[in-house]
Structure 1
């Protein structure tokens, strides 16, 4: 991956911290995924400052999740279940708040696409 110009690198680091913060919120809030934000944060840190990327990857649970994703090892089966259930719950609970039928249909389609992506495209990590 090419290194971005020097003036842009601090912006990548700032974005990495913002994404890391959202990821930590995802660890605390039920139904809000955290892993995707950490994966994005690691990518931002890699463009901004590899030392921050190394810091993120050295975190006990987070680093393993990001490393597994990057290596193509996928997600544990339990995590896939949790992610799919969270998507279904989020769509189901928010659907009545969308006043337009087109918006509701679009929201359901996005939820179905998200679940199908997790089920079919992300490999299931087997227990070691």
Structure 2
């Protein structure tokens, strides 16, 4: 029973990430690649069919294929992802989180994510 629930929860989450990633293709402020990578991670754990569909998609698939092949992500995507990451983390740390240890943990995680994003090779813009 739990495996069935987990599978459908991952498919639902993956589909939500695909929708947000697809919106990111046309909305300049919203990054595309991170959401599509999350969708691919959900699909690979729940539905090989959806994973193949996503990778084979003419528009969305190339973002994931570029990342997986080491071709990287566009600089604009990196800038947007880092900006949104730090904006949300700083708002959380300043206005919502009162426990110092949690603030420090959020900043450490954001730093780690930033290092990872910056370490990914930059691809040409689409």
The equivalent of 1:19 in structure 2 is 14
Q: Is the 8 A contact 1:9 1:47 kept in 2?
A: no
1:107 is paired with a residue whose SS is: helix
1:61 is paired with a residue whose SS is: coil
For the aligned residue pairs, the C-alpha RMSD in angstroms reads 3.0
The equivalent of 2:115 in structure 1 is 116
Q: Give the length in aligned residue pairs.
A: 120
Distance in 2 between residues matched to 1:22 and 1:90, nearest whole Å = 18
**Which runs of 5 or more residues in structure 1 are unaligned?**
1-7
Distance 1:47 1:61, change over 3 A: same
Distance in 2 between residues matched to 1:51 and 1:23, nearest whole Å = 14
Distance 1:19 1:51, change over 3 A: closer
The equivalent of 1:103 in structure 2 is 102
Q: Map of 1:66-77 to 2, 5 A cutoff?
A: 66-77=64-75
Structure 1 residue 44, shift from structure 2 partner? 4.3
C-alpha offsets along residues 9-65 of structure 1, whole Å, 9 cap, x if unaligned?
Answer: 995465234223134235558877553342243344345543322221233432111
Instruction: Give the alignment's TM-score, normalised by structure 1.
Output: 0.71
Instruction: Give the alignment's TM-score, normalised by structure 2.
Output: 0.72
